[in-house]
Chain A
């Protein structure tokens, strides 16, 4: 029944899409017939139209920009969630298939079930977005359609494929077990490939608007769609969104698990949802670790494309938005770490390592303080006098990128270290090589931190373009430590016996609020960063090519923008709660027994 409804909905969206495509030229024609000079000019020259206020239809009771903004943001929230979840579902299913543990399979199934409910909302919000764009911004829509027409058709086809894959993957889950499992996994792979392609195509529209390629300075399209798609910001945005989608999917299913954990009465159910929350938190954190680097890369490409856009992004009014971003990321890191610290309570053997938590907390605090320290200090005249100038000898050097990169890298290592402590607490071996391996890991951490700090300090003595390049070896160091430690841990885990037990479900309720914090902060942060990415175009629809001639071309104040972000977050959370509720209606299988005593390490 749901499948039928969703199919119907999809057909509706397709029809809407078609209608919107055909609507735009019609509108243009109507305007030309009415003698509007701006659109007449379009007919004469194939470049981007020069729009005036008259080219933007206005409807009483609707603010054009806010309507499109909220529709786009909600669509992005749902799309990110729906694209992110299948990625780790596939990985979890694969792990479950390899080690033959049915609990993984069930958890993966439960994850995809939540994502299923959100899928139709993704399509709906996408349809609303297309409608809103075509109705409120017909000129822009027509221009984008003229360039991306073939891509949009491909997009529609891929959407069909995505729907087919998702339904086959979800509804075929139970029947494709055992011998047919590889086929099911392949189906999941196809789902992810199609999903990633879909994301890439729609990203190209956003990046084209930021950094147009394939058109000349008047917006005349040279005819090669691929050049327009693969603009200078396309790849960085793809990578950034791919990672962020996984992290976001993890954060949302984590909130689902936390909610179920709080509501659960039976200890089996509690254990199941605790394990689920732990896994989701792990996914969110691991996917988030490389995110700052993807962000730096994206920023670097923006600077490379246009220094003016870069300075608008990092220097002007928008600089303050990055202070908010720092607070949000701080919240996320703290919530994730707090959850990991609380998770130590599940272990009998945790006492060996629990005392390290305070040092980790100390390192996190120091890194955060460095990270928060702004480049330009806000100070009163008296403070200015005592300091002896605007330049603070201690805090001043902490304000530049070298210090920030160093702090972020160490922070990430500290977070990963906590995670590793948890995994290592569960295994024990008296063999001498294990002690050597541990010593090797400690030495690796020390060397890595020393290298990161050295590179950071070295950054003060080299020119800016080389300094930016130094962040690459810093990141590589961090990633190397993470990968080597995971490999070594796997080797150790496979060759030693487990000690004690993991008491899944032995978790305080307040730890679940860390998971909610993660979901809320992630959603809000996504909204904020989406706003920044979109609004650094300022008064341009397509940067430097097509001006926004509407009354809404101005950049709103930070307070106004964040209020809209808050509204979007609230709307999304209300809708996703509805989805959670829906997926609870079709009675979940009873949580598998015996989990509470098992020592699963996802």
Chain B
């Protein structure tokens, strides 16, 4: 028996939904055993909305297909024979809508989702204790010093393991001892999306001024990053930065000509 056009399209939606809800977490579980990386519900909605729109457009793009789909609908909503199925569907949709509304407003013990911007925009300059730092031109002074490079990296490593690794982890992957206590979690420096995308001056600003130095805009950031310039000298901060790049194998984003 030939399955009707509409049911086939609905099946496609169902398969797509299954891929999003089960397929992607399954792949994720393979890549990172022990977890079940679901697609966040916010994104699932966006994905499904888009998939449904494309399928509708696909159905409407061909005159014959479209008339078949419309015929199916006309049959479903008009034919006396389909009354039970029709009533059941309408009831099911109403119930689902009602549950959706209930689910959206019922009180729950969960923090609401975070809507934060990706990178906080740095100021063009900032000052510590009266000294101005111009982020547009600031470079790591230690990087040019090839002779002491190894020594600087080593000093940076020492500082990292004294100060930073509790949160950022001994592998620099953001999985330190205290990492689970923080939300947002500490940055994973090995990820291609963090320090590999930034210039060293940006890191200097973030480390030196910490969470309180973030712009009010786009907040609340809730960053637990301490204000390191109170504990580290300028040179020490640059040494740590050298170490971060050296250990992860990333290169800082080059200042473009």
Contacts and interface: CB of A to CB of B under 8 A. Distances in A.
Contacts of B112: 380
A386 B37 contact: yes
Contacts of A375: 118, 193
Nearest to A459: B192
Contact of B119 (A315, A357, A395, A397): A315
B53 A334 contact: yes
Given A315-B121, A338-B61, A341-B58, A465 B256 contact: yes
Nearest to B114: A378
Contacts of A394: 24, 27-28, 31, 37
A408 to B, nearest CB: 16
Contact of B117 (A316, A377, A379, A397): A316
Contact of A357 (B58, B120, B124, B135): B58
A503 to B, nearest CB: 12
A393 B253 contact: no
B136 A307 contact: yes
B40 A383 contact: yes
B122 A311 contact: yes
Nearest to A334: B57
B50 A330 contact: yes
Given A304-B257, A316-B217, A390 B119 contact: no
Nearest to B253: A464
A414 to B, nearest CB: 12
Given A389-B174, A510-B60, A382 B110 contact: yes
Given A389-B185, A395-B43, A379 B113 contact: yes
B83 interface: no
Contact of B62 (A345, A365, A381): A345
Given A311-B119, A357-B58, A375-B193, A393 B50 contact: no
Chain B contact residues, majority secondary structure: loop
A524 interface: no
B116 interface: yes
Given A317-B218, A345-B62, A388 B32 contact: yes
A307 B121 CA distance: 9
A311 B50 CA distance: 29
A538 B185 CA distance: 31
Interface in B144-160: none
B184 interface: yes
B54 to A, nearest CB: 5
B191 interface: yes
Contacts of B174: 389, 391
A361 interface: yes
Category for how many chain A residues contact B = 35 or more
Interface string B100-132: 000000000011111111111111100000000
Contacts of B114: 378-379
Contacts of B124: 306, 308, 544
Contacts of A380: 40-41, 110-113
Interface string A231-245: 000000000000000
| B38, B46, B118, B253: residue with the most chain A Cβ atoms closer than 10 Å | B118
Nearest to B66: A508
A338 B53 CA distance: 11
A206 interface: no
Interface string B54-93: 1101101111001000000000000000000000000000
Interface string B213-227: 001011000000000
B203 interface: no
B42 A379 contact: yes
Nearest to B115: A378
Nearest to A538: B121
A465 B253 contact: yes
Given A387-B35, A392-B28, A316 B135 contact: no
A475 interface: no
B5 interface: no
Contacts of B39: 392, 395
Contacts of A334: 53-54, 57
Nearest to A305: B256
| B37, B55, B121, B251: residue with the most chain A Cβ atoms closer than 10 Å | B121
Can you list the 5 inter-chain pairs with the closest CB atoms, starting with the nearest?
A315-B119, A341-B61, A388-B35, A304-B256, A463-B251
Given A304-B256, A391-B188, 14 more contacts: A306-B124, A308-B135, A316-B217, A342-B60, A358-B58, A372-B47, A373-B43, A383-B40, A387-B37, A389-B175, A391-B191, A395-B37, A464-B198, A508-B66
Interface of B: 16, 24, 27-28, 31-32, 34-43, 46-47, 50-51, 53-55, 57-58, 60-63, 66, 110-124, 135-136, 174-175, 183-185, 188, 191-193, 196-199, 201-202, 215, 217-218, 250-257
7 contacts: A308-B135, A311-B121, A342-B62, A375-B193, A381-B110, A391-B188, A465-B253
